Amino acid sequence: MIVYNPFWETLSSSKESTYTLIKNHHISSSTIDKLRKNKPITTTTINDLCRIFGCNVENIMTYVVSDQDQIL
């Protein structure tokens, strides 16, 4: 399961806030909600967040083994 805990850590250590992401960088409030709930977001959005924060993907998300993962 992909979780966005690193995103929240990156956000808290930056000059940005959820407000500035929405107002200045045009990240939708629904995307912020998806990040809060560890729901899927697009790779385009991940790319945008990496550009905004000047960071790598691992500063936005991480993979955690979960019993809730779909069966392959």
CATH value at residue 35 = 1.10.260
The answer to whether residue 71 is domain-embedded is: no
**42: which residues sit within 8 A by CB, 6+ positions away?**
none
The answer to whether residue 11 is domain-embedded is: yes
The answer to whether residue 26 is domain-embedded is: yes
The answer to whether residue 55 is domain-embedded is: yes
Backbone angles phi, psi at 63, to 5 degrees: -100, 130
Q: In terms of residue numbers, what domain contains 33?
A: 2-63
| pLDDT, position 69 | 77
From CA 44, how far away is CA 41, in angstroms rounded?
A: 8
| pLDDT, position 28 | 97
Number of domains the chain contains: 1
The answer to whether residue 69 is domain-embedded is: no
pLDDT profile of the chain (72 residues), mean per 10:
97 97 97 97 98 98 86 79
| pLDDT, position 17 | 97
